[in-house]
Amino acid sequence: MRVRHRDGIHFDLEGGPVVADARSAVGAVNVVSHAHADHTFRSTPETVVCSAETAAIAEARTGTGFPFVERGPGVELVPAGHVVGSRAAIIDDGGENEDGRRYCYTGDFSVRDRCYLEGFDPTAIDANVLVMETTYGLPTYRFPPQEALESRIRDWLRDNDDRPLFLFGYSLGRAQKLQWLAGEATGRDVLVSESIRDVNRAIETATGLEFAGERYESLRGLSDEIVVLPSNQARADWVETAVDREGGLKAGFSGWAVDDSFSYRGNYDATFPLTDHCDFDELVATVRAIDPERVYTHHGFDEAFADVLETEYGYRARPLKRNQTTLEEFR
């Protein structure tokens, strides 16, 4: 039995390959964990295993719908706590056979309850093999308690109520939480980009949640509005011009904000480690709660985290490297 990182994560099982979060590779069963662009198909197979929310958001972002089911042969989805609709996959390969394996593929995940989103619950997972993302897999990345962090953000929004504020986060995930926190903290108008507005509408239709953001027509003549923009636009010339012209402040939101360099990369006036991923301690706690026989790590600090699991906690762990084909046998 093999687990490989190619185009997506491939589980080579007796009943046929299960492929998760590929851009074009197709297996006997195809899983999409959530609707971020790097986890969804460029052109989809006949049927995808994903949540209804993920299908709706992906269609809103790409303009292309696709048939989906929320449960596939040997595949069960459970909430992953990353963004709306995100799911981890429990993959059962011959559970009635003594050699059968149960895999947990987390996709991107977070154990924290945040704003309107419940976190991933590792205590509910029964799996022999854990395949997990390790974006923040170094001890450097320890984030403050969620309640305290959200309180700091709300206080900053209230303390700067006399000028426009420009907040930067991913169009799917962070942007909606920033709108949510702005609505909790103030009664100010919230303006968003077209891409964020489209994601808002898809989530609202699929879930019944509501977000305060209205698509801006112009960023001229602002007074105290809160503007939420995609993080990749933080250093765009037109953004810098608007911030200077309107006398605004810029704030960046990411787990990378624990590094001082993050504020310089985005030319931010304030930064907050608001993230949709686990920190280092939460990654360790997830492994210990599931207590698998084997752990595969991928993304971020995958090598370093696998080493910690082996040397400090005694788990059999290794990083998944793209196109690596080493056969892993369980004895």
| 291 and 265 within one domain | no
| 165 and 55 within one domain | no
pLDDT value for 126? 96
| 134 and 22 within one domain | yes
CA 104 to chain centre: 17
Q: Please state which of the ranges 143-157, 169-183, 212-226, 311-325 shows the lowest mean pLDDT.
A: 311-325
pLDDT value for 311? 98
The model's pTM is: 0.93
- From residue 107, how far is each of 8, 79, 82, 87, 148 by CA, in Å? 10, 10, 9, 7, 27
Terminal CA-to-CA distance of the chain, rounded, Å? 11
pLDDT value for 37? 78
**pLDDT single digits (tens) 98-125:** 456 899 999 999 999 999 999 999 999 9
Arithmetic mean of pLDDT, 277-283: 98
Q: For residue 47, name the pLDDT band (cuts at 50, 70, 90).
A: confident
pLDDT value for 233? 95
| 77 and 102 within one domain | yes
**pLDDT single digits (tens) 57-111:** 988 887 778 889 999 999 999 999 999 999 999 999 875 444 568 999 999 999 9
| 281 and 136 within one domain | yes
Specify if 331 maps to a domain: no
Q: What is the CATH number of the domain that holds 150?
A: 3.40.50.10710
Cα maximum dimension of the chain: 69
Q: For residue 324, name the pLDDT band (cuts at 50, 70, 90).
A: low
| 24 and 131 within one domain | yes
| 118 and 11 within one domain | yes
- At residue 46, φ and ψ (nearest 5 deg) are -60, -45
Find the domain containing 106 and state its range: 2-140+277-319
Q: Which of 49, 188, 65, 178 is nearest to 107 (CA)?
A: 49
Residue matched to tokens 């608001």: 274
331: pLDDT strictly greater than 50: no
| 208 and 315 within one domain | no
